Each structure stands twice: as structure tokens, then as C-alpha cells.
Amino acid sequence: MMLQRSVSILILIIVGATSKLMSQKMTPEQVVQNQLEAYNQRDINAFMSVIDPKVTFHNFSEGVETMKGRQACKEFYAALFEASPNLHSKIITRTVFGNKIIDHESITGRNGNDKPLELVLIYEVQNEKISKVTVLKKQK
């Protein structure tokens, strides 16, 4: 009887701890890190799992929106992943500022090009999804 009660209490503790862990939200940095890892693995489904349905992409220098919506994003990145078997992004620096993650990245293998492309990306995260990406390209 005592053993059965102890086992029951232990099960309740494990279930409670597991539920708490499962209900914990990802931080904005974790969301962006998951997206980066999916990008480097060229895994379109994992990549899209952290993209908001109404995501927008913006060119910082020109101040224009360059892409809007989940479907456009999926089509663009699926084509990029297909055309870039050696695609890899390395974080040079990362700044976390509330729900904004600012990554200075060096990307190689994009569309078969081995010359590094340097970008600064500002990710805005809402409800565990990337809702806005602003891209700064290094001026030549």
C-alpha cells in the first residue's frame, strides 16, 4: 500500500514536470536559432514551422517590402534550398533585444556561390513565430 502510494506520487510529479516543460514557450532567440538550424539543414518544413502566416520581409536600404506571406516565403526558400546543396549560414554576432534578434551572418553556398555573402538580419518574433525580417546587405 505504501509502495503503491509512493509510485502514484512519483508519477504525478513526473507528469507535472513534463507538462510544465512542454508548456514552456520558446524565447525569441530559440525561435530564430531553430530557423537557422533548419536553414543550414535545408529543411523546408522545419524552417517554415517558425514562420508566421503573415510574415513580411523588408529591404532596409531601400525601405521596401520584398516578400509577404507564408506561401511566398515557402516557395522562395524551397527553391533556394534546392539550388544550394552547400548552403550554410554562420553567425558572426547575435544581439537579442526583446523580441528582436539581430544576426550578422556570413552565408556560403547560396545558389552554388562559394563567395561569402554578409548580411545583417533583424528578426521580429511574435507568439513563437518570425513575423518580420529586415535585411541589410553590405554595400559594395
What is the average pLDDT score of the chain? 89
pLDDT band of 139, cuts 50, 70, 90: confident
Query: What pLDDT does residue 24 have?
Result: 78
Nearest residue to 140 via CA among 111, 115, 112: 115
Average pLDDT over residues 22-49: 93
Cα–Cα distance for residue pair 28/11, rounded to 1 Å: 32
pLDDT band of 103, cuts 50, 70, 90: very high
Query: Per residue in 3-21, pLDDT tens?
Result: 666 656 656 566 555 555 5
